[in-house]
Amino acid sequence: MRKPKELPEGALESLAMGLKQAKTKAEFQSVQCLWLRASLRLSADQVATAIGWHPNSVRKLQARYFKEGEAALKRGGKGGRYYQNLTREEERQLTPRISGPVRERRNIGSKPGQGCL
């Protein structure tokens, strides 16, 4: 087995502060994943067991940390507009055109004055 890559200078102190400043469980586990490697020199499998992750997830985060540094810990949450097809402005322009006909179709086949729900 090859020797694990050393973390950058000052990373251990930075990660220790990150453990104290973490606001969510996910944030804490991400920092803990790196801190366990830096302070106790645990393998990815051992870190995964300690924090309840899959070993590949540990390896992926550690590799991203070596590539991006602290920015790897500042990732946004899941979802959002990552796969957006329209800009927000295009979406605003399109929404009235789509929702207008839907509102009119709701009353098809009902008696006048009654809504379908």
Cβ-contact 25, 6 below 8 angstroms = no
91: confidence class by pLDDT, cuts 50, 70, 90? confident
| Residues whose CB falls within 8 Å of the CB of residue 64, separated by 6 or more in sequence, listed in order | 72
pLDDT at 111: 60
Q: Who has greater pLDDT, 66 or 78?
A: 66
- Collect contacts of 37-42 with beta carbons under 8 A, ≥24 apart: 37/4, 37/7, 37/62, 38/7, 38/11, 38/12, 39/12, 39/15, 41/4
CB 44 within 8 A of CB 60: no
pLDDT at site 104 = 54
pLDDT tens figures, 14-55: 999 999 999 989 899 999 999 999 999 999 999 999 999 999
The mean pLDDT value of the chain amounts to 81
Token pair, residue 71, equals 């920015």
